[in-house]
Amino acid sequence: MKYYISYFGQMRNFPSNLLPVSTVMWEQAWFAGTVEKLEELIVPQSVVSSLEAHHTMCQKNCPLSASLPCGFMAAYLDYLRTLDFNQVLMKLNLMTLRHTHVDSIALMVYEKPSCKCAERPCLQQWFKENGIELVEWEKPTAKKATSLF
């Protein structure tokens, strides 16, 4: 099984063998029913509350821009570390059994890779700590046909 991370805007480019699994509380309405969801990876309310507490400060002076710890990201990573990684991995792999021809999973977040204050770096760090590199899924580039004339 291959594991990736991506964002909802990329789903239109996904091949049929890639299963999107949401890590967000609420998908946009147009994604309802098109993604699997694993409750354990959804940001818990306690972490959302820490985000709300830091929201005003982050809008004016993002701690990441000054290489300071972000309260939201620290809280989410701490939460992930309380989970049994092998149990989460097993649940992810079991999801693929409901879909034919699936050999890869993409954990879905809202933000593009350029947004550093999001679930993406936390999920990537947690997977890395458990021996799996969670890389960004990228749309394959189309090869141009070469003409003989």
User: For the residues 66-82, what does the mean pLDDT come to?
Assistant: 77
Tens-place pLDDT, residues 12-21? 899 999 999 9
Question: In 3D, which of 126, 104, 119 has the Cα closest to residue 4?
Answer: 104
What does the alpha-carbon distance between residue 46 and residue 148 come to, in Å, rounded to a whole number?
Answer: 62
Residue 60 CB coordination number (10 Å) = 7
Instruction: Say whether pTM exceeds 0.75.
Output: yes
Q: 23-35 pLDDT, tens per residue?
A: 887 666 666 566 7
Question: Looking at the DSSP assignment, which residues form a beta bridge with residue 101?
Answer: none
Q: What is the pLDDT of residue 41?
A: 87
Which one, of 140, 141, 133, lies nearest residue 2 by Cα?
133
